[in-house]
Amino acid sequence: MNSRLRAWLETLGDQFWLRPALIVLACLGLGQLAVWLETARIAGYEASSPAANWGYSGGAEGARALLSAVASSTIGVAGTTFSITIAALSMASGQMGPRLLRNFTRDARNQVALGIFLGTFAYALIVLRTVRTVQETPFVPHLAVSGAILLAMLSVATLVWFVHHIAAGINVETVVDAVHDDLCDAIERHTLEAADVRSVLPIPEVGTIAAPASGYLQAVDRDSLADWAHEHGVLVTLRVRPGDYVPAGFPVAHLSSPIEDASGALGTALTFGRRPAALQDLEYAVRQLSEVAVRALSPGINDPFTAGSVTDHLGDALCRLAPRHLPSGVTTREGRIVLVQPVTDYAGLCDAMLHMIRQNAAGSVHVLARMLEVLTRVVEVERLADRRVELRRHADLVIAAARREVSETADLADLEERHQRFEAVSATA
């Protein structure tokens, strides 16, 4: 699938109104279908038939009262649901960071719950307009009114489930687990089982291509750009990667030789947006987890346990990465390198995971100790020598911060002991 289309679908998933709108349209169609089936005598039943015992068997006045009650109650519950959602979003934004709001707005369960309430309201209205009393031509769509009763029962169950889901969803551990799952999925998608080809070619600077737009680079259609470069016999070297903000006019690529339609090809291959996207950005979920930890360490919240939990989840991600390889960013066609793009390396990934947490936890013995424990576990799993060097660098930075900020002798001695344990494990790994 084209990367631009995938980015569009990713953006479409952020729209909180989409699923509720589709459910409302489906309920409108269902209500109209139920009335039509009974009008055409394709389906339905007489009020005195045995089937009426399982549905609505009253008259027109009762049907109008019932449908009015269903419509008024469900629209009120929908308003309450929306208020609860906004309150949950405000709480999440204040305690865990505004960038995590995307996880709440993308939650299909919240959208479906709101859609069921609004859909029941729309269904009751569309059926209510067809009920006619004796003063008019009498008509009571028993089948459709029975459907309204079923939807009302579904709305009651949805309300109970929705309250439970919101209560569980705003729990910080639930949020951390959800983002950690996203990070694990990203590692699975964006890493390789075997080492990729590496490029030692110098960066060409003959032809420079300016950014076709400004904003965050969300996706690169690598295959189409590589095919274009192969067709024209040039080497394209990108200077930006998904997740980077690109200002207008910035030279985003170099060509080994100038090509006339290069700007158009690059504009087609690069997708920009107003905000970063997780589509091709391995560090997207890492930044979300780091933000949760940094906010937990702020003086206003002061929750080192959450920061320690985030550190544990980041360590798990590094252990999952141990048997896999990061892509080199090199694309070949018929044995010739045609595209080179910057990618996340192991050092950059560790920096994104650990730098901000360590900097904000310099005085927290609990978080520093947890970081050393996590690094010790990761270095025991990791087998590549260059990666173990990076882990050692971060362990040294943690103990340096402890020596600088921790004044209690016993606490510092405990951290020194954990660092020595890391050194011992690293030497034998």
Strands laid side by side in the 215-220 sheet: 245-246, 215-220, 270-273
DSSP state of 137: S
Instruction: Determine if the pTM surpasses 0.95.
Output: no
CB 311 within 8 A of CB 321: no
Q: Is 93 exposed, middle or buried (0-12, 13-18, 19+ CB in 10 A)?
A: middle
| Fold that domain 182-191+283-324+345-428 belongs to in CATH | 1.25.40
In angstroms, the Cα distances linking 211 to 157, 257, 357, 369 are: 51, 18, 33, 45
Longest C-alpha distance within the chain, in Å?
A: 93
Pick the CATH number of 207-273 from 3.10.180.10, 3.20.20.10, 3.90.1170.30, 3.30.497.10: 3.90.1170.30
Q: Are 312 and 374 in contact (CB under 8 A)?
A: yes
Helix (DSSP H) and strand (DSSP E) numbers for the chain:
15, 8
Question: Which residues lie below 8 Å from residue 161, measured CB to CB, with a gap of 6+?
Answer: 113
| CA atoms of 32 and 125, how far apart (whole Å) | 10
In three-state secondary structure terms, 237 is: strand
Print pLDDT tens along the chain (429 aa): 566 666 666 667 667 788 899 999 999 999 999 888 888 776 665 554 554 455 676 778 888 899 999 999 999 998 888 888 777 777 776 777 666 667 777 788 888 999 999 999 999 999 998 888 766 667 788 888 889 999 999 999 999 999 888 888 777 888 888 889 989 998 998 888 877 666 555 555 556 788 778 899 988 888 888 888 888 888 888 989 998 999 988 888 888 888 877 888 888 888 888 888 888 888 988 998 998 899 889 888 888 999 999 999 999 999 999 999 998 888 888 888 888 888 889 999 999 999 999 999 878 899 999 999 999 999 999 989 999 999 999 999 999 999 999 888 999 999 999 999 999 998 886
